[in-house]
Structure 1
Amino acid sequence: MSDAQRKELRDLVSALGADISDRHYQPSYDAAANICSGVFETIPVDLHDLVQEAAMAGYAAALDDLERGKLDDRVRERAELLG
């Protein structure tokens, strides 16, 4: 991956996580740490922070969607099976 591609990817991930609210930060950080713990051994060290930031952004976005009631039918079906 070229430096320009890496910078572009880093900028994109930063933009994705720019609006992580304070209430979602710690749960997102913890989830990303759990997700990434198994991935870090398989990717270059210089991508660790980038991957963790992307996982945090995705998890925080999912928490926000859940709070806003943005659940799709598949999620509802799974919830019904579990509950």
Structure 2
Amino acid sequence: MDAEIRDVDYGSAHEAAQNVCSGVHELIPTDLHDLVHDAVMAGYASALRDLEAGKLDDQVRERATFLD
């Protein structure tokens, strides 16, 4: 997987992938563990970039109203 993960996002993305993968580790074939881990890291890092760029502001505000 050729996803660019910024150094600043790497730690958070890795931790997120560890958390997600720990729940599915035994359910997926061993040869897919690294692929799933890398895919979760890439998705999480992409979401962090989108948040930083403000691309998800409306969605965050909308969901925040549910907490009120």
Q: What TM-score comes out, normalization by structure 2 length?
A: 0.88
Query: Unmatched 5+ residue regions in structure 1?
Result: 1-13
| Residue of structure 1 equivalent to 2:43 | 58
Alignment partner of 2:32 out of 39, 47, 52: 47
RMSD of equivalent CA atoms: 1.5
Shift of 1:20: 0.5
Aligned pairs for 1:14-53 within 5 A: 14-15=1-2, 17=3, 19-53=4-38
The DSSP-based 3-state class of the residue aligned with 1:64 is helix
How many positions carry a matched residue from both structures? 68
Shift of 1:71: 1.1
Identity %: 60
- The 2-side partners of 1:32 and 1:63 are apart by 14
Structure label with greater radius of gyration: 1
Query: Unmatched 5+ residue regions in structure 2?
Result: none
